[in-house]
Structure 1
Amino acid sequence: MPRGLELLIAQTILQGFDAQYGRFLEVTSGAQQRFEQADWHAVQQAMKSRIHLYDHHVGLVVEQLRCITDGKSTDANFLLRVKEHYTRLLPDYPRFEIAESFFNSVYCRLFDHRSLTPERLFIFSSQPERRFRTIPRPLAKDFFPDHGWEPLLMRILSDLPLRLPWLNKRRDIRYIIAYLAEALGEDALPRCHVQVANELFYRNKAAWLVGKLTTPDGTLPFLLPIHRTDEGELFVDTCLTTTAEASIVFGFARSYFMVYAPLPAALVEWLREILPGKTTAELYMAIGCQKHAKTESYREYLCYLAESDEKFIEAPGIRGMVMLVFTLPGFDRVFKIIKDKFAPQKEMSAAHVRACYQLVKEHDRVGRMADTQEFENFVLDKRQIDPALMALLRQEAPEKITDLGEQIVIRHLYIERRMVPLNIWLEQVEGQQLRDAIEEYGNAIRQLAAANIFPGDMLFKNFGVTRHGRVVFYDYDEICYMTEVNFRDIPPARYPEDELASEPWYSVSPGDVFPEEFRHWLCADPRIGPLFEEMHADLFRADYWRALQTRIKEGHVEDVYAYRRRQRFSVRYGAISSTVNSS
């Protein structure tokens, strides 16, 4: 290769990333207009298209590089020089951390995810940790209650960029003050102040005001979800001020926020104070930088591995028919491999399973489906693998395993947040905890269905319980759109003998689902059956599911709340409006 080509290649990669992030910001900046116009279908489409931008631009750069090199192979020294030139371009670059991830992605695409070494890739960042240059403009603005909390909140709400009128701004302010007085105490309020992010965080049908509430005892989140009525008038739906509530809002089972972030590292650092339980990977994920979040997730995994002498073991729970799942005992994530052969009753291909996982990545997860990171050629040291797990890997996925002597390479896997399997949780809890779990499970099913997702396999083992007690779906191999399912009532038996027969007395076609049958496996436990019948009996009726299908087909997009119904101001303090948007 001619000298000087290394710099050209480095510049081409960085220019490609510039183009990608420019389009990312462009799509993000349209969030305000989509919200103001209540164009909820455009919201969903923008979410999908923004996810695809990264891989699309990686592909464009790869094609450019193949033209530049004329398809000739490159030696190791040449590649090292390319990385050196690229590293020199980053010290004054505002998005250096994601630019490194983009470089990694281009390299992996060019070399089919092989030879992934620290010399060739940015396994860890080349720049000092959390390095910032001067920020062109502040990320947030401070508000002090010099003249009381009512004028303070009036300034905050009046400063918002939203161009819609308010339904009743003064009433919302009274609600916020009433809530803060309950949560903090009236005596503490005069000694508190608020810092509010300049940019709104858009997701689903809400525009979130995200801020920090500084109190005499420390800093708390200050979150206001702003909605619009059918008539296009704004209202604040609630106020959230605990780290647990904020963690759920920014949770791993939710869609990514649309927030304009030309300096994502600075925004992540600003958010860290009100989301102390979130890792760097989770914060980048929440603001839509999912590919860099994957880089950070891998770094977190490597750091944990370096400090641990644990061995990989099969994950607790009922063994899957499609996926082999393993973990490290103290690590908060699981590793999922698609088996080479599935159980006989699972009539599907590995390609179908991967398509299901991609569907979840692109769809609105409504806080009920766990996000995943996808990896290829994942290397594990044999000494860190429990012998029982190694035997299981060789038995269930030999075609996906390459033996390198002291290491193995897994051709493809997913990494996902670890949860307590719901079936195990239900065995361990009683009383109110059991009731809460069953309520959560039913709510998860309802919210998934309203978002046009049918889980397929609704067994408790396919759901997990988060550290906040939320029930989240995580087994996607039978997932499909609600609109693809034919929900049927079981026809009456022709004769008494029909109900005792081993085969049904009625025809069953592909796509047919009989909700009455759910009762057999969801209510078998005598502790659970009565609770289910009390709270979720409608899930056993085909007409309930058909009614949801009708709403979906008519174009309705349901509201998705990242908090309990009882926390809404309309429930806590009185009705807001009979015209709150649900279409």
Structure 2
Amino acid sequence: MNTNQEVNFSTETVNNITEGFDHYINEFKKLTILAPEYFKTRNWREMQANHRKRLRLYKDLVKSCCDSIDVLKANKGENRAFWVEVKNQYTQAIKNRQDRELAETFYNSVIRKSIHQLAVDEELMYVHEGYDACDLHPNENLYYSYPSTWGLQKIIRQIVQDFDFGVPYYNKEEDIQLLVRAVREVILSRYETTKDTVTQVLKSVFYRNKAAYLIGRTRVGEKWMPFIIPFLHSENGIYVDTLIFDPKIMAHMFSFSRSYFMVEVDIPSQMVSFLNAVISHKQIHELYNAIGFNKHGKTEFYRDFLLHMEESSDQFEIAEGIKGMVMTVFTLPSYNIVFKLIKDHFEPPKDMTRQEVKEKYKLVSLHDRVGRMADTHEFEYFSLPLNRISPELIQELKNTVNSLLIFKEEKLIIKHLYTERKMTPLNIFLESCDHEDAKFAVEDYGNSILQLAQANIFPGDMMTKNFGVTRQKRVIFYDYDEIEFLTDMNFRWKPKPENYEQIYASSPWYDIARNDIFPVDFKRFMIGRKDVKDHFLQYHKDLFDPNHWKNIQHRITKGELLHAFPYPKEIRFRPSLTA
């Protein structure tokens, strides 16, 4: 084959990938800009459906792009020199893009799908580039600015005026005064404004579920004071729900246990840079996830992981806690992540397949996690240095997931795994925490189950070992192999025995279908710690009442979206109002 043909093949491949990426970005934006209309019309079902459609978009369009270069791939096979040339040309093609970090990730996805069993390869892929590949110069188009010389009343009025949601307010004047009072109580009681004091609010509104959020910051006391203003839309109109200054609450709103926002973004790296200054508790990859670019968030996470590997020397080891029947879990003690692999064989009574487990994880990735399910990143052909893996872990992997392992020179390549935020298993937390922490933990454990139910998720196996406790002591569900839609379950009272044979029967004397659930049985296994068990049973007595579960089912089947507030209800301006 002559040189001109080689160049034509590589150029056409580059064109296909750039066109594929353009198509992805355009479709992503089309879906994102629907959010304000759904908020305006209170069309919550379509809001959620649109969110799921956007989540599916990336994988579908990467596959479409790969299909478009199949003919070229057939001619070139897995010719390394060809792909090196493609990468060089592609780098030139995207060098002036303001979203080129996303374009690099898209390329990585395409080449991973095009070359069989390709592990990370620095010559063929974009491995170490950073999120700030684009210039982070000040951009007045990114935010509105409000000088302190205007005075607080005018600033708040102008903010409310600048964000017109296209429908009447419930009580606009009251909203303004509630915001003014909150600013006076939290900021002006502690700091004095100067000529340098300025307030900046991102022009893009962040939509999720039934809420719209304004995100801003005020320069006061020689530092930036971040804030978030949530808006809700009830049948009676738009209203401000609260004003949030607490950085821990803000971090939770951008948590790995929350769904991604629908927010219009022109230059992703600039948006992330602003958010990084405001939500300082969050890492860069978490912020990309939060604004919907979770595939690039995965890229940034991997770069952070590589950097951590260079700066650390500890060994990967089996994760603490009771070993699962479906997943093998390991971790690096110095890193805040666990690695989860689906076992080759499941112990009874588990009777599912590896593919069925993958489908459960996919369900979670597309569903509203309501702050109670951990987000995951899925990796294929994940490479680890063998000298960083403990002998005990090597043996455990060989015993449980041997089909997923490729030993290659000084590396272990794992064909498929999930990464997830590290948490303390709830059963372990309860073994050592004090009484007050234990009371709070069991209360939040029950809250997490009920909030999942309101999002139409039934966890299935609700033992405490399947829940984790975060650093903020929030309880999160993280074991997904038995989850089901709540509306598919049949909640029942246990039939009362009527004769001697039924009373002393060695097995249930009544019929039990696969989806039958007897909430009264939850009492037997949910909490083992004696000094808080009675408190839990009383505090969450609804958990054991089939009628309570049926009521949630009824509300969901009627089409009601049960809003999960990502901030404490006690800070709401009008707690009695519902969206």
What TM-score do you get using the length of structure 2 for normalisation? 0.95
2:290 is matched with which residue: 266, 286, 292? 286
**Which stretch has the larger CA shift, 447-456 or 416-425?**
416-425
Residues 220 and 243 in structure 1, CA contact (< 8 A), matched pair in contact too: no
Measure, in 1, the Cα distance between the counterparts of 2:301 and 2:367.
21
Does residue 511 of the first structure (1) align with residue 510 of the second (2)? Answer: no
How has the CA–CA distance of structure 1 residues 120 and 514 changed in structure 2, closer, same or farther, with 3 Å as cutoff? same
**Which stretch has the larger CA shift, 7-16 or 330-339?**
7-16
Report the counterpart of residue 135 of structure 2 in structure 1: 132
Does residue 397 of the first structure (1) align with residue 377 of the second (2)? Answer: no
Residues 487 and 512 in structure 1, CA contact (< 8 A), matched pair in contact too: yes
> Matches of residues 103-502 of structure 1 in structure 2 within 5 Å?
103-125=107-129, 129-132=132-135, 138-186=141-189, 188=191, 190-191=193-194, 192-231=197-236, 233-495=237-499, 498=502, 501-502=505-506
Q: CA deviation at 1:206?
A: 0.5
Q: Give, as a single letter, the amino acid of the residue that structure 1 aligns with 2:183.
A: L
What TM-score do you get using the length of structure 1 for normalisation? 0.95
Measure, in 1, the Cα distance between the counterparts of 2:503 and 2:154.
69
Q: CA deviation at 1:500?
A: 5.3
Measure, in 2, the Cα distance between the counterparts of 1:385 and 1:112.
26
Report the counterpart of residue 97 of structure 1 in structure 2: 101
How has the CA–CA distance of structure 1 residues 545 and 99 changed in structure 2, closer, same or farther, with 3 Å as cutoff? same
Measure, in 2, the Cα distance between the counterparts of 1:221 and 1:496.
68
SS in 1 for 2:28: helix
How has the CA–CA distance of structure 1 residues 242 and 429 changed in structure 2, closer, same or farther, with 3 Å as cutoff? same
SS in 1 for 2:69: helix
Report the counterpart of residue 560 of structure 1 in structure 2: 564
2:551 is matched with which residue: 524, 539, 547? 547
How has the CA–CA distance of structure 1 residues 74 and 377 changed in structure 2, closer, same or farther, with 3 Å as cutoff? closer
**Which runs of 5 or more residues in structure 2 are unaligned?**
none
Residues 356 and 479 in structure 1, CA contact (< 8 A), matched pair in contact too: yes
Measure, in 2, the Cα distance between the counterparts of 1:542 and 1:554.
18
Measure, in 1, the Cα distance between the counterparts of 2:177 and 2:544.
42
Q: CA deviation at 1:497?
A: 6.7
SS in 1 for 2:278: coil
Measure, in 2, the Cα distance between the counterparts of 1:185 and 1:497.
74
Q: Give, as a single letter, the amino acid of the residue that structure 2 aligns with 1:492.
A: K
Give per-residue Cα distances to partners, 1:426-471, cap 9 Å, x unaligned: 1222232222212211111111000100000111111111122211
Q: CA deviation at 1:423?
A: 1.0
Residues 136 and 269 in structure 2, CA contact (< 8 A), matched pair in contact too: no
Q: CA deviation at 1:249?
A: 0.7
2:526 is matched with which residue: 522, 525, 548? 522
Residues 340 and 397 in structure 1, CA contact (< 8 A), matched pair in contact too: yes
SS in 2 for 1:141: strand
**Which runs of 5 or more residues in structure 1 are unaligned?**
none
Measure, in 1, the Cα distance between the counterparts of 2:562 and 2:131.
44
Measure, in 2, the Cα distance between the counterparts of 1:187 and 1:305.
42
Q: Give, as a single letter, the amino acid of the residue that structure 2 aligns with 1:559.
A: H
Measure, in 2, the Cα distance between the counterparts of 1:128 and 1:171.
41
How has the CA–CA distance of structure 1 residues 187 and 457 changed in structure 2, closer, same or farther, with 3 Å as cutoff? closer
How has the CA–CA distance of structure 1 residues 168 and 439 changed in structure 2, closer, same or farther, with 3 Å as cutoff? same
Residues 120 and 383 in structure 2, CA contact (< 8 A), matched pair in contact too: no
> Matches of residues 17-96 of structure 1 in structure 2 within 5 Å?
17-68=21-72, 71-96=75-100
Q: Give, as a single letter, the amino acid of the residue that structure 1 aligns with 2:284.
A: T
Q: CA deviation at 1:136?
A: 7.3
How has the CA–CA distance of structure 1 residues 396 and 249 changed in structure 2, closer, same or farther, with 3 Å as cutoff? same
Residues 220 and 242 in structure 1, CA contact (< 8 A), matched pair in contact too: no
How has the CA–CA distance of structure 1 residues 501 and 193 changed in structure 2, closer, same or farther, with 3 Å as cutoff? farther
Q: Give, as a single letter, the amino acid of the residue that structure 2 aligns with 1:197.
A: L
Give per-residue Cα distances to partners, 1:172-192, cap 9 Å, x unaligned: 122222222332343636455
SS in 2 for 1:282: helix
How has the CA–CA distance of structure 1 residues 382 and 157 changed in structure 2, closer, same or farther, with 3 Å as cutoff? same
Q: CA deviation at 1:59?
A: 1.3
Give per-residue Cα distances to partners, 1:351-404, cap 9 Å, x unaligned: 110000000000011111111000111112211110111100000111111222
Number of residue-to-residue matches in the alignment: 573
Residues 132 and 269 in structure 2, CA contact (< 8 A), matched pair in contact too: no
Q: CA deviation at 1:20?
A: 0.3
Measure, in 2, the Cα distance between the counterparts of 1:374 and 1:92.
30
Q: CA deviation at 1:193?
A: 3.6
Measure, in 1, the Cα distance between the counterparts of 2:94 and 2:132.
13
Q: Give, as a single letter, the amino acid of the residue that structure 2 aligns with 1:73.
A: G
Measure, in 1, the Cα distance between the counterparts of 2:111 and 2:412.
21
SS in 1 for 2:397: helix
Measure, in 2, the Cα distance between the counterparts of 1:431 and 1:19.
55
Residue identity over aligned pairs, in percent, reads 36
Q: CA deviation at 1:554?
A: 0.8
